[in-house]
Amino acid sequence: MSEPGTDPEAVVRAFLGDLERLDVGAAADRLADDAVYQNVPFPAAKGRKAITKQLEGLARYGSGFEVRYHNVAVNGTTVLTERNDVLVFGPVRADFWVCGTFEVVDGHITLWRDRFDFVDFTVAFLRGAVKALVGAVTGGRPSSAS
């Protein structure tokens, strides 16, 4: 993998790529020591160590993570990402919309703030659970309702 240097968009894409590979160590290396991460409306995690702890939970309990970009906009050191994130927990896949704001200084993320619709997030998990259950019951055959 080539290193993104200090280009803000490249740093953010590399960071999210690290998370897709569940490589928390590589992702953490892209964070500033005093970085702030917030999934709005939840409280912010402050500092690389606190953020890494949250990311380790994703890697420990999740079995996959995917990012599907819709739009990326850059203004100086600020990178905005409109995307769908897919969280995978065993057979359950939750695909939901996220809008992220990243601040990148000297090649390190200093701010990562994601916004999402909590109802959409909840429905995505319920939909994923139902699909997993139907798949388990039918042996993976699609239902006639699909």
Residues forming beta bridges with residue 79, ordered by sequence position? 74, 102
Q: Which one, of 86, 85, 81, lies nearest residue 112 by Cα? A: 81
114 is catalytic: yes
Q: Which of 23, 85, 95, 117 is catalytic?
A: 85
- Measured CA to CA, the distance from residue 113 to residue 27 in angstroms comes to 15
The strand pair at 108-115 and 31-40 is best described as parallel
Catalytic entry in 7, 23, 114, 120: 114
Contact 113, 38 (CB under 8 A): yes
DSSP string, 34-54: EEEEEEETSPPEESHHHHHHH
Contact between 104 and 12 (Cβ < 8 Å): yes
34 is catalytic: no
Catalytic residues: 85, 114
